[in-house]
Amino acid sequence: MRLPLVMMMRRLLFRLKPVMWKRCNHAIHTLRWRDTYDSRLCPGLLILQQSWLPGDINKFSLLFIRLLATKKKGKYKIAPMKQKQVKKEVEIKQRMTISELAEAMDKDTDHVFEALLHTNIDIDSIEQDFVLDEKWIKEVIKKSGMKFKWAKLSEEKVKENKDAVSRPPADPAVLVPRSPVVTIMGHVDHGKTTLLDSLRKTQVAAMEAGGITQHIGAFLVHLPSGEKITFLDTPGHAAFSAMRARGANVTDIVILVVAADDGVMKQTIESIQHAKNSMVPIILAVNKCDKPEADHENVKKELLAYDVICEEYGGDVQSINISALKGNNLMALAEATVALSEVLELKADCTGPVEGTVIECRNDKGKGPVTTTIIRRGTLTKGCVLVAGKSWAKQRAREVLEWRKYVEAQEKIKQDLEVIEAKQKEHHETYKKERESFSSMNWRQRKSAMYRANKHLMATRPKERTEVDELSLPIIVKGDVDGSVEAILNILDGYDANEQCNLEVIHFGVGDISENDIVSAEIFSGLVYGFNVNANKEVQQMATKKGIKIKLHKVIYKLIDDLKDELSDKLSPVFEENIMGEASVLALFHVTIGKKKVPVAGCRVQKGQLHRKMKFKLIRDGHILWKGSLTSLKHLKEDITVVKTGMECGLTLDKEIDIKLGDEIICYEEKEVEQNISWDPGF
């Protein structure tokens, strides 16, 4: 009757853990051959009660079996249950940048670079904003022991255009005459600022009640006849160009100021060019006519060369002789301006929302941002909602600002994608050419070749790689006229020594060296070159304080020679070998020093002399086998310092080298020599 009991026990214990089943199975096998059950055969198994009816196995019942969870030392031990590792899920998109993928994986970007290390992507040429395709995203996640899931695609709603745009052209019936907007331009020290100050004083004297509208950058002049002129205080041609570049047609007339005692100068020429490019009429104001050396007729003749023809010479340019310092003839200048504006028939629409152009802005401690604006259309009233670029005043301006930021962001994304696609196309073509070079190899040879090509990438982690700092010399070039600057830039275009030091022209232009040039040079750690231009005292002091070099030249080849010297100074010195003597090995023998045998080379000096304190090298068949110093130099068993031509000597090296007969021993000294840039400008 033991066999049914054994089978029932096996059925009941079938679902036990494998290790426990093995132990119980051993005990059950024992029950077949023994009349009694010994609990020692299966520790942990205890049969508390059993009963059955003879001849009826189905009525057998094992009332209770308990497995004792005790741990006992001995032959049978329960193995710990291994937890199944759960892979982390990473949400991915079809295209992701390296930084985006690292963030989704909760890793740093170095982890992604390491995963891409043995792939076909050249990780030295990519940055964190490099866009990975679906293939490489899955590869990185797989190598990281993770699994991916596709991120839910959110349908982007089309934004409603809430920008504030200019109104359509106004109905001619609603246009009314307006006052002219005048910009005063001219060469430095020709009296432009003095003229502006005198016009202000004239207006203040005529309007003692103080009913003048005057702001930084612009002021309004009221004439006795009731006419008004808006003058723009825009220093230098750069501000005028920037104003025109903003697309605001706020300048109607240019008053060109030329000193009668100085004539046409470089800034005068530039002002003429700006006015002609903008198709703005010119009024000539010949200043400093009160000086004895003044020659206003000569000024008019000089201007003929630049297509500025005064009325006296049959042209259409009005000319007024003034003295800005004494205030002579200023009203005549104002009246000439009004007359020209009447010819131009300047009109504007004063109805509807206001449109204007900001010509200057500043931060006021009490008011905050304050702007000087020329109103081109509409009427400005208190409480108007104003938007300028990406700045706003209140109310609906927030919506306009958000829309403009959205448009700008979309444009940037589009540009970035174009750049990324171009880089990826270039990389794909390079990879394709590389694979073509492996086409004739079998898979083992190809794998070996790819390993050798990428071996240097495996040496260190991306973050630990040291990049060689490339030498560079950033420069700013300023010249007196466009022709001079163009000539210098043409010479610099032929620069061909970038492998020694990069030459970077970060800015160039026409005019004197300004504070902005010094600031730019400081940012890029560069220097400023000027050709036939000056730097005033304030600029020179600023440059000295910031440690910026200003190089002024009047001869072009001297400027280039100076630039070559600056480039050469950037280069590290090199060591040159100066050969002092040569000797040939004629014999080899050993001497015993203590318990050690030391090889000695018997030599004869063929040329120059050997000096023990100098450096030596061993040459065989044109190849250098050793460089170092001597441990001993003897002549007829005597230690010596110098061996001259024709003498024989024995010498030992500081390293064990297999010296052979016929080898050459060279004695030399190293000298530090400054490098010179290899660039040849051709003169």
- φ, ψ of residue 204 in degrees (nearest 5): -65, -40
Task: Say if CB 675 and CB 572 are below 8 A apart.
Answer: yes
Q: How confident is the model at residue 174 (pLDDT cuts 50, 70, 90)?
A: confident
What's the pLDDT tens digit per position in 84-109? Answer: 667 888 888 888 888 888 888 888 88
Q: State the Cα–Cα distance between residues 284 and 319, nearest whole angstrom.
A: 5
Residues 6 or more apart whose Cβ sits within 8 Å of residue 1: 52, 54
Q: Rounded to an integer, what is the distance from CA 241 to the centroid of its chain?
A: 27
Residues 6 or more apart whose Cβ sits within 8 Å of residue 508: 476, 477, 478, 479, 485, 488, 489
Q: How confident is the model at residue 351 (pLDDT cuts 50, 70, 90)?
A: confident
Please state the rounded mean pLDDT for residues 556-565. 89
- φ, ψ of residue 344 in degrees (nearest 5): -75, -15
pLDDT at 451: 62
pLDDT at 547: 92
The helix/strand/coil state of 672 is strand
What's the pLDDT tens digit per position in 209-246? Answer: 333 333 345 778 777 777 888 887 654 433 344 443 34
Q: How confident is the model at residue 275 (pLDDT cuts 50, 70, 90)?
A: confident
Please state the rounded mean pLDDT for residues 477-487. 78
pLDDT at 513: 92
Count the alpha carbons within 13 Å of 624 in the hemisphere toward its beta carbon.
7
SS3 labels along 476-495: EEEECCHHHHHHHHHHHHCC
Q: State the Cα–Cα distance between residues 286 and 312, nearest whole angstrom.
A: 14
Six-digit token string for 284: 């000539």
User: Between the ranges 188-197, 205-214, 449-458, 502-511, where is the mean pLDDT highest?
Assistant: 502-511
- Using N-to-C axis directions, what is the helix angle for 556-570 and 482-493, rounded to 10°? 40
Q: Which residue has the higher pLDDT, 58 or 380?
A: 380
Q: State the Cα–Cα distance between residues 218 and 231, nearest whole angstrom.
A: 6
